């Protein structure tokens, strides 16, 4: 099977991982909408949330832990948690993933959600998240 996120989970394609547990892995989105935009994916291949809804409960602990980590380390004021399901919804990678998008007071609201910011230094953000306390 040719799946980008399975390849990332297997370490065949590099990623900036921020969290992992037995069921899920979390890594920075390569094209972030806001600093710290992270994808939480199940370790097992699940195409989307509608075909296997039980997978949502498998990744729920990782979504919770990653959301807390991002909020604390990046001092986010809030967070959008979004799962696109099916091509018509905008899903482009067909391995289930939850988008965790930290939000900051200077760019509030739904209208500003998808303002991709090409100035974000992914390595610098990654270090802020994974630095040992
Ligand atoms: P979707 O549109 O399927 O909900 O979201 C797919 C996400 O995967 C997009 O936000 C996109 O930027 C991200 N993405 C695509 N290719 C890669 C990649 O190679 N590495 C990482 N870390 N993210 C990717
Ligand atoms: Zn996969």
Residue-range domain boundaries for the chain: 4-130
Ligand 1 geometric centre to CA of 52 (Å): 20
Which residues on adjacent β-strands are paired with residue 81? 100
Q: Is 31 in the pocket of ligand 1 (CB under 6 A)?
A: yes
Report the pLDDT averaged over residues 83-101: 98
Atom number in ligand 1 closest to CA 31? 12
Q: Can you tell me the distance from the alpha carbon of 99 to that of 96, in angstroms, rounded to the nearest whole number?
A: 10
Residue 116, pLDDT above cutoff 90: no
CA dihedral 41, 44, 46, 49 (to 10 degrees): -50
What is the model's pTM?
Answer: 0.97
Q: Is 93 in the pocket of ligand 1 (CB under 6 A)?
A: yes
Ligand 2 geometric centre to CA of 46 (Å): 6
Residue 96, pLDDT above cutoff 80: yes
The highest-level CATH class for domain 4-130 is: alpha beta
pLDDT of residue 16: 98
- At 133, the pLDDT band (50, 70, 90 cuts) reads low
pLDDT of residue 118: 75
- At 24, the pLDDT band (50, 70, 90 cuts) reads very high
- Judge whether 99 counts as a catalytic residue: no
Residue 83, pLDDT above cutoff 70: yes
Q: Can you tell me the distance from the alpha carbon of 36 to that of 29, in angstroms, rounded to the nearest whole number?
A: 8
Residue 117, pLDDT above cutoff 70: no
Query: Which residue CA neighbors atom 13 of ligand 1 most closely?
Result: 29
Residue 30, pLDDT above cutoff 90: yes
């Amino acid at each position: 099977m040719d799946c980008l996120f399975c390849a990332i989970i297997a370490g065949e394609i590099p990623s900036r991982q921020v969290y992992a547990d037995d069921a899920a892995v979390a890594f920075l989105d390569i094209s972030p909408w806001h600093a710290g935009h992270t994808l939480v994916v199940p370790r097992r291949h699940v195409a989307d949330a509608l075909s296997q809804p039980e997978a949502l409960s498998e990744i729920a602990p990782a979504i919770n832990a990653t959301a807390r980590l991002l909020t604390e380390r990046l001092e986010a004021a809030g967070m959008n948690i979004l799962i696109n399901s099916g091509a018509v919804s905008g899903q482009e990678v067909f391995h289930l993933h939850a988008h965790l998008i930290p939000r900051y007071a200077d760019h509030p609201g739904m209208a500003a959600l998808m303002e991709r910011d090409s100035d974000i230094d992914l390595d610098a953000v990654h270090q802020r998240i994974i630095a040992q306390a």
